[in-house]
Amino acid sequence: MSQHNLNQNDLTVQRAESLLRTGQFVDAAALFERILTQSPNNFEAIRGMAEACYALGDKSSSRHYLNLALQLSPEDPRSLNNSGVLLFHDKQYEMATEHLALAASID
């Protein structure tokens, strides 16, 4: 992949994260998906897609993307926190507590 594509992906991730922060979840998910089509292991896009899916009520897809994010970066506090919240909602309290405690210890 060329340096131009990497820089373009970085800018697109920033745009998608901005959309996510402002509640434009469908548009954010579309941008993250476009990035992942070109760069399937883009950690920020995977984590962002997990957050967009969660915000859109698609917990199954959110769980899928969070698992991918944690495979790429097992000690990412944001992914661990989000995973803990999702596990809590799934009534997996012990695992949720582990993820949240680990996120807090790293952050």
Please report, in tens digits, the pLDDT of each residue of the chain (107 residues total): 445 555 677 778 999 999 999 999 999 999 999 999 999 999 999 999 999 999 999 999 999 999 999 999 999 999 999 999 999 999 999 999 999 999 999 96
C-alpha 26/C-alpha 83 separation (Å) is 21
Three-state secondary-structure class, residue 90: coil
Query: Which of 42-54 are b and which e, b meaning 16 or more Cβ less than 10 Å from the residue's Cβ?
Result: bbbbbbbbbbbbb
| CB 76, CB 70: distance < 8 Å | yes
The predicted pLDDT at position 6 comes to 56
The predicted pLDDT at position 5 comes to 53
C-alpha 106/C-alpha 99 separation (Å) is 11
pTM of the complete model beyond 0.85: yes
The predicted pLDDT at position 73 comes to 94
